[in-house]
């Protein structure tokens, strides 16, 4: 993991392999962003002019690398575009800074130490730059034995001008380090091949994290699940040689007045079961446990930050495979709640494991339940690859989560739960079916989950099917593969819950 420091050294005197500065656009002119004054001075005040000569425009995410002049200790200067400069008296947007830092960290793989001279006048800016740099400095090479000589991410990033003796700046950096490390834990889990991350192996990861951070972890294996009547989880895992697990990871604080339950879909591989996915749709299905990875990362973050709120993560883990013992279309499962569900499509399995976990979480009467899942392709069709959908049984809570996501730099969109779609899940054989009408399928899935929420409990559902796994080229602080989608939103939700604001 990349180390983070807040340095008191000046940009001209700090020894590093590279020095990152920001540049922005003001009309047709290029300007050097605050924080890089010493660097500009080393270029005799002509840094912007030099960059323009090299073709730099200041556009967001654009990078220009140039040799440093004699007045700097670092041999390389990397200018990263920040887009349009803010109006006088206004600060750069924190997400712009986060993405710029992430871009720079990615471009500078192979450098051991990178110094960032970006605008960090406020603690919020310090946190954004630190978070972006640490998230951008991510790589996953655990299984690449022939590429051990590939360029590595920076071993250390140093933030200049961030006031290391100021409590707010120091706290922002420490928070960024904790959250970024947990997001990268979630990314590692999502990127791990499914033959290595079975439900039992995932449960072991949760147990190890619990031991490291003082969390109480309980694992229900297949025998305990059968004894408890968890028909949804067992039904999904019935076709696999790797049996399912339900994992509870609990963080408690002695001063907590509220409790938050986070439920994550953890399908460690989703073949679709008997309703087999076609070729072209199953190659990335190791990512179908991203919701469980996100809630684990969030509860560990809450513990590391010492938040005054009780947070419990429920990881519903199973592998969805076809075999002679697999659940068939037409089978009826008796869920943990006692409801019976006719399985019309075994590839609509996530809602089945989540339903049992939501019912179990409801027994503890938390103030709110938030489930996170790569649940439906319909949500990807509706919102694209970078935006997750938010549904809830309380409009104000849905709005709050949407706003929180925007605050921390995650794209989301509030979605409805139209009551008229519920009838499409009626079954002539069971209490309900696991499928309804095709149009609005993401909303139908949300309506299904709502049936299992305990009475009087505020609940929200995040469908992260789009942004959980990025198949394109990296951008900003987002790598190819697992992204850690929704972790920042969940952590901020826990912070605001602890503060009594939700």
Q: Cite the active site residues.
A: 277, 351
Place of tokens 């139908």: 444
The answer for residues whose C-beta is within 8 angstroms of residue 429's C-beta and 6 or more apart is 332, 342
Place of tokens 């499914």: 194
3-state secondary structure of 62: coil
Per-residue DSSP letter, 420: G
Strands in 432-433's sheet, in edge-to-edge order, are 332-334, 340-342, 432-433
Do 137 and 103 meet the contact criterion of CB atoms below 8 Å apart? no
**Residue by residue, what is the 3-state secondary structure of 69-97?**
CCCCCCCEEEEEEEEECCCCCCCCCHHHH
From CA 311, how far away is CA 307, in angstroms rounded? 9
Show the tokens assigned to 448.
């299904």
Show the tokens assigned to 148.
């051990």
What are the DSSP E strand ranges found in 181-304? 216-220, 245-251, 259-270
Q: What count of other Cβ atoms lies within 10 Å of the Cβ of residue 297?
A: 30
From CA 96, how far away is CA 28, in angstroms rounded? 20
Closest by Cα among 98, 104, 95, 31 to 62: 104
């Amino acid at each position: 993991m990349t180390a983070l420091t807040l340095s008191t050294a000046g940009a001209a005197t700090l020894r590093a392999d590279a020095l990152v500065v920001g540049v922005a656009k003001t009309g047709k002119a290029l300007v050097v962003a605050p924080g890089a004054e010493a660097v500009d001075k080393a270029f005799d005040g002509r840094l912007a002019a030099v960059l323009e000569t090299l073709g730099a425009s200041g556009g967001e995410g654009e990078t220009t690398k140039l040799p440093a002049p004699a007045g700097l200790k670092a041999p390389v200067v990397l200018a990263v575009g920040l887009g349009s400069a803010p109006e006088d008296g206004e600060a750069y947007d924190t997400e712009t800074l986060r993405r710029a830092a992430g871009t720079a960290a990615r471009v500078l793989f192979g450098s051991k130490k990178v110094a960032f001279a970006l605008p960090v006048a406020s603690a919020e800016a310090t946190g954004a730059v630190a978070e972006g740099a640490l998230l951008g400095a991510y790589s996953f090479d655990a299984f690449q034995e022939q590429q051990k000589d590939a360029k590595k991410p920076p071993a250390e990033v140093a933030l200049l001008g961030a006031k290391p003796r100021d409590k707010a700046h120091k706290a922002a950096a420490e928070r960024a380090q904790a959250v970024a490390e947990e997001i990268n834990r979630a990314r590692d889990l999502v990127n791990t091949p499914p033959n290595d991350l079975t439900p039992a192996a995932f449960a072991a990861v949760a147990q190890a994290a619990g031991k490291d951070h003082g969390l109480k972890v309980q694992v229900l294996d297949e025998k305990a699940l059968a004894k408890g009547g968890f028909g949804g989880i067992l039904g999904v895992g019935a076709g696999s040689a790797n049996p399912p697990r339900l994992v509870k990871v609990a963080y408690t604080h002695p001063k907590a007045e509220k409790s938050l339950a986070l439920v994550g879909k953890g399908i460690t591989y989703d073949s679709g079961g008997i309703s087999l996915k076609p070729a072209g749709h199953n190659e990335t299905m190791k990512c179908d446990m991203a919701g469980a990875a996100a809630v684990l990362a969030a509860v560990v973050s809450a513990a590391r930050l010492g938040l005054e709120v009780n947070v419990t993560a429920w990881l519903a883990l199973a592998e969805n495979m076809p075999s002679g013992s697999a659940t068939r279309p037409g089978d009826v499962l008796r869920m943990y709640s006692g409801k019976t569900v006719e399985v019309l499509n075994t590839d609509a399995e996530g809602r089945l494991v989540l339903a049992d976990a939501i019912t179990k979480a409801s027994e503890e009467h938390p103030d709110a339940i938030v489930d996170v899942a790569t649940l439906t392709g319909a949500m990807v069709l509706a919102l694209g690859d970078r935006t997750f959908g938010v549904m809830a049984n309380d409009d104000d809570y849905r709005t709050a989560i949407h706003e929180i996501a925007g605050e921390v730099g995650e794209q989301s969109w509030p979605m409805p739960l139209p009551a008229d779609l519920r009838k499409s899940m009626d079954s002539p054989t069971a209490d309900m079916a696991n499928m309804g009408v095709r149009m609005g399928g993401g909303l139908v899935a949300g309506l299904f989950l709502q049936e299992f929420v305990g009475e009087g409990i505020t609940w929200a559902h995040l469908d992260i099917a789009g942004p959980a796994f990025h198949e394109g080229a990296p951008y900003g602080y987002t790598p190819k593969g697992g992204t850690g989608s929704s972790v920042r939103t969940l952590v901020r939700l826990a912070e605001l819950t602890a503060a009594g604001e939700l």
